[in-house]
């Protein structure tokens, strides 16, 4: 025999008397306060909680509450209108006077009442169902309710057992809330396209910028080569036409402008903008050449590529001076505006441009066989990458624009991690295949019939067979966001004209887009106030920061694990909470079922 049975046999051998709540508990009154006043005095630092109808709860300072009737003992609050329920609360509180609360001499008696009322909530909700459009119960419903009142020791044991369940459920709910916040943090972090802010700096703010001697050292029969602008061609240094200068002149020139490993030589007179990266051994001096003293190979190569692109050429053309010869001043070179991405972006950009053929092959980007055409494509992609760095926009060539755009997207993903795409870039819109059917004309079956917010019916036939992403086209949920506005469907389905239908090549991309659309504010794209609508044109305007497919898979795998933990009713925390809730209800019903004392006539 269990401890519980022993307790019942000892203290309630003949059963338990039932009493009306009004005869057993003290009823407490609330405070006359309006919704407007609650909104005015709401303060998260307030020490008094105020309950209103439904789920409205605020905290406030006592001195701000007019005609305050504060409850300072543990009590059970009866929510009597809208949501019919009970709340146990043991800190200072009050409530709108349309509700009421009960207390007793001991906390055990109050907790016992809470569990009894929760166990009989269906009785109160049934009583409210016939009270008009908004459920409501009268005071009489609880006042006249008869509950079993066992001895205090029995109540204590019941409370101890049931509270252990409610505490566990509360802990699980707290963990679920924490996991949801963790999910939102990781979602927002993983979907953040701003992986590195790209700043524009003057060249002289990045590296030391000088130039070679302006003098004309005498030619010598032996000594060291003197390099000028005309010795730099196509990224190479050709010293066959250099004349030699003496050791003394060589030392003198190098006191002003010594060339070191990974420095960039930049032609400033005549043919302007030719460059070469200096490599050891360096046994020459320079004249009328810009000296960009980059200290490492990555920076040197990045600056070489950047100073060769269309943006840089435009700056050079705008700042050239003179006629014969033309020149770029040292001041203009020092003030050269340079986009400076993060170090890892620099490394990837240099890798792409230094290994253009092999990178394009790895990314399945086709290249023309003809050398000149390939060089033009290289320059086009180089400028597209650097234009994206400057503007955030993807610029495609006029010819074969769609193929070119897809190639640029892959390169941008490789270098910058994320590329801004639209749904037209990555999915097929199947809206033209949708067929709305009025409810009276639907033939019943087991095929899901989808609308803007999910399944609205089941029908016999199907339109789609496969995996698709639906995005709400209209309806209040577009702004209310009570349920997700993007959701995946699979198998045989029918979709009406209230949801856009998108087909993706990859699960990871579809799921990534689903998560992203549900995480952002879409109000800019939604038209109509009374009837919110997200039309196809505006849907296609939404910019999605999309990483490479491998990164999509990594992100989706992480977020899917959190999603399962937070929402899956079969295996996640919701399943655990649901199981514990059912366990609590089973024991609550069992513990609160007593043999009733026979009344003597």
Q: What percent of the chain has pLDDT over 70?
A: 90
Residue 239 in any domain: the answer is: yes
Instruction: Give the pLDDT confidence score for residue 450 in this predicted structure.
Output: 95
CB neighbour burial string for 115-150, b if at least 16 within 10 angstroms, e if fewer: bbbbbbeeebeebbeeeeeebbbeeebbeebebbbb
pLDDT digits (tens, 9 = 90+) for 38-79: 999 999 999 999 999 778 899 999 999 998 999 999 999 999
Q: Are residues 137 and 116 in the same domain?
A: yes
Which CATH number characterizes residue 467's domain? 3.90.220.20
Cα separations (Å) of 116 from 221, 315, 379, 540, 598?
110, 80, 78, 55, 21
What single-letter DSSP state applies at residue 503?
A: E
Q: Are residues 12 and 97 in the same domain?
A: no
Last residue of a domain, one of 339, 354, 378: 339
pLDDT digits (tens, 9 = 90+) for 282-306: 999 999 999 999 878 999 989 988 8
Task: Please provide the average confidence, as pLDDT, over all residues in the chain.
Answer: 86
Q: Are residues 82 and 106 in the same domain?
A: yes
Residue 423 in any domain: the answer is: no
Instruction: Give the pLDDT confidence score for residue 73 in this predicted structure.
Output: 96
Residue 368 predicted with pLDDT over 80: no
- C-alpha–C-alpha distance, residues 25 and 111, integer Å: 12
Q: Are residues 215 and 313 in the same domain?
A: yes
**Torsion on CA atoms 143, 147, 150, 155, rounded to nearest 10:** -80
Q: Are residues 349 and 378 in the same domain?
A: yes
* DSSP codes, 315-346: HHHHH-B-SSS-B--HHHHHT-EEEE--HHHH
pLDDT band, very low/low/confident/very high, at 265 (cuts 50, 70, 90): very high
Last residue of a domain, one of 396, 416, 436: 416
Residues 447, 451, 457: CA angle, nearest 5 degrees: 40
pLDDT band, very low/low/confident/very high, at 402 (cuts 50, 70, 90): low
Q: Are residues 212 and 329 in the same domain?
A: yes
Residue 295 in any domain: the answer is: yes
Instruction: Give the pLDDT confidence score for residue 560 in this predicted structure.
Output: 81
Least confident of 29-43, 83-97, 208-222, 350-364: 350-364
Phi-psi region of 454 (alpha: psi -120 to 50; beta: other; left: phi over 0): left
Instruction: Give the pLDDT confidence score for residue 483 in this predicted structure.
Output: 87
Instruction: Give the pLDDT confidence score for residue 83 in this predicted structure.
Output: 84
Last residue of a domain, one of 114, 149, 184: 149
State mean pLDDT over 557-578: 71
Instruction: Give the pLDDT confidence score for residue 274 in this predicted structure.
Output: 92
Instruction: Give the pLDDT confidence score for residue 308 in this predicted structure.
Output: 84
Residue 421 in any domain: the answer is: no
Q: Are residues 348 and 307 in the same domain?
A: no
Q: Are residues 542 and 435 in the same domain?
A: yes
* 373 Cβ contact list (under 8 Å, min separation 6): none
State mean pLDDT over 390-418: 71
Instruction: Give the pLDDT confidence score for residue 271 in this predicted structure.
Output: 86
Residue 119 in any domain: the answer is: yes
Contact 213, 257 (CB under 8 A): yes
Residue 218 predicted with pLDDT over 70: yes
Which CATH number characterizes residue 557's domain? 1.10.287
Residue 34 in any domain: the answer is: yes
Contact 567, 560 (CB under 8 A): no
Q: Are residues 139 and 212 in the same domain?
A: no
pLDDT band, very low/low/confident/very high, at 379 (cuts 50, 70, 90): confident
Q: Are residues 136 and 220 in the same domain?
A: no
Residues 113, 114, 120: CA angle, nearest 5 degrees: 90
- C-alpha–C-alpha distance, residues 4 and 9, integer Å: 9
Instruction: Give the pLDDT confidence score for residue 601 in this predicted structure.
Output: 54
pLDDT digits (tens, 9 = 90+) for 122-177: 899 888 865 556 788 899 999 999 999 999 999 999 999 898 888 888 887 777 77
Residue 103, SS3 per DSSP? strand
pLDDT digits (tens, 9 = 90+) for 443-483: 999 999 999 989 999 999 999 999 999 999 998 888 888 88
Residue 422 in any domain: the answer is: no
Contact 500, 429 (CB under 8 A): yes
Nearest to 276 by CA among 214, 228, 318: 228
Find the radius of gyration of the CA atoms of the chain: 38
Q: Are residues 67 and 118 in the same domain?
A: yes
Residue 46 in any domain: the answer is: yes
State mean pLDDT over 74-101: 93
Comparison of pLDDT for 202 and 81, the residue scoring more: 202
Instruction: Give the pLDDT confidence score for residue 570 in this predicted structure.
Output: 56
Q: How many CB atoms lie within 10 A of CB 151?
A: 13
What single-letter DSSP state applies at residue 600?
A: P
Contact 486, 517 (CB under 8 A): yes
- The residue segments making up the domain with residue 214 are 201-339
pLDDT band, very low/low/confident/very high, at 414 (cuts 50, 70, 90): confident
Contact 501, 433 (CB under 8 A): yes
Residue 196 predicted with pLDDT over 60: no
Q: Are residues 143 and 55 in the same domain?
A: yes
pLDDT digits (tens, 9 = 90+) for 223-264: 999 999 989 988 889 988 899 999 999 999 999 899 999 999
Residue 194 predicted with pLDDT over 70: no
Residue 20 predicted with pLDDT over 90: yes
Nearest to 547 by CA among 185, 197, 195: 195
Total tally of structural domains belonging to the chain: 5
Q: How many residues does the chain have?
A: 601
pLDDT digits (tens, 9 = 90+) for 499-547: 999 999 999 999 999 989 988 889 899 998 788 999 999 999 998 888 8
* 407 Cβ contact list (under 8 Å, min separation 6): 360, 363, 365, 366, 381
pLDDT band, very low/low/confident/very high, at 398 (cuts 50, 70, 90): very low
Instruction: Give the pLDDT confidence score for residue 195 in this predicted structure.
Output: 41
- C-alpha–C-alpha distance, residues 156 and 11, integer Å: 13
């Amino acid at each position: 025999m269990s401890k519980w049975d022993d307790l019942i046999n000892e203290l309630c051998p003949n059963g338990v008397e039932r009493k009306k709540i009004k005869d057993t508990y003290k009823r407490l009154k609330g405070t006359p306060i309006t919704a407007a006043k609650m909104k005015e005095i709401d303060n998260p630092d307030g020490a008094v909680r105020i309950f209103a109808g439904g789920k409205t709860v605020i905290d406030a300072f006592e001195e701000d509450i007019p005609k305050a009737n504060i409850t300072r003992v543990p009590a059970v609050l009866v929510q009597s209108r809208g949501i019919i329920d009970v709340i146990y609360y043991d800190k200072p509180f009050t409530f709108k006077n349309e509700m009421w609360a009960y207390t007793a001499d001991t906390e055990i008696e109050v907790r016992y009442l809470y569990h009894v009322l929760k166990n009989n909530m269906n009785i109160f909700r049934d009583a409210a169902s016939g009270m008009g459009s908004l459920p409501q119960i009268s005071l009489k419903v609880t006042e006249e309710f008869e509950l079993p009142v066992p001895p205090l020791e029995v109540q204590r044991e019941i409370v101890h057992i049931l509270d252990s369940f409610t505490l566990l459920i509360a802990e699980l709910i707290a963990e679920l809330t924490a996991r949801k916040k963790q999910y939102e943090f990781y979602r927002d972090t993983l979907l953040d396209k701003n992986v590195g802010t790209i700043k524009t700096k003057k060249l002289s703010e990045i590296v030391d910028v000088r130039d070679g001697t302006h003098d004309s050292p005498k030619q010598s029969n032996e000594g060291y080569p003197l390099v000028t602008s005309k010795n730099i061609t196509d990224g190479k240094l050709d010293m066959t036409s250099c004349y030699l200068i003496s050791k003394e002149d060589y030392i003198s020139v190098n006191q002003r402008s010594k060339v070191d490993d990974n420095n960039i030589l930049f032609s400033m007179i005549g043919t302007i903008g030719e460059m070469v990266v200096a490599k050891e051994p360096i046994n020459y001096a320079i004249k009328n050449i810009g000296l960009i003293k980059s200290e490492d190979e990555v920076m040197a190569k990045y600056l070489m590529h950047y100073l060769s692109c269309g943006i840089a050429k435009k700056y050079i053309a705008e700042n050239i001076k003179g006629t014969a010869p033309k020149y770029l001043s040292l001041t203009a070179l020092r003030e050269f505006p340079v986009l400076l991405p993060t170090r890892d972006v620099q490394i990837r950009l240099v890798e792409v441009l230094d290994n253009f053929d092999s990178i394009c092959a790895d990314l399945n980007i086709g290249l023309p066989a003809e050398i000149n055409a390939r060089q033009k494509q290289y320059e086009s992609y180089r400028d597209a990458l650097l234009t994206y760095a400057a503007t955030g926009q993807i610029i495609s060539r006029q010819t074969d624009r769609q193929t070119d755009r897809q190639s640029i997207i892959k390169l941008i993903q490789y270098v910058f991690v994320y590329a801004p795409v639209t749904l037209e870039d990555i999915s097929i819109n199947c809206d033209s295949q949708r067929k709305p059917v009025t409810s009276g004309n639907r033939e019943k079956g087991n095929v899901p019939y989808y609308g803007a917010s999910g399944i609205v019916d089941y029908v016999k036939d199907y339109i789609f067979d496969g995996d698709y992403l639906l995005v709400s086209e209209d309806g209040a949920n577009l702004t209310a966001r009570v349920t997700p506005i993007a959701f995946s469907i699979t198998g045989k389905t029918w979709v009406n004209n209230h949801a856009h239908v998108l087909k993706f090549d990859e699960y990871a991309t579809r799921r990534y887009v689903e998560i992203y659309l549900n995480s952002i504010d879409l109000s800019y794209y939604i038209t109509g106030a009374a009837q919110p609508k997200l039309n196809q044109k505006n849907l296609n305007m939404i910019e999605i920061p999309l990483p490479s497919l491998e990164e999509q898979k990594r992100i989706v795998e992480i977020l899917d694990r959190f999603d399962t933990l937070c929402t899956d009713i079969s295996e996640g925390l919701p399943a655990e909470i649901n199981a514990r809730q059912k366990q609590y209800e089973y024991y609550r019903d069992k513990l609160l079922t007593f043999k009733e004392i026979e009344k003597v006539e």
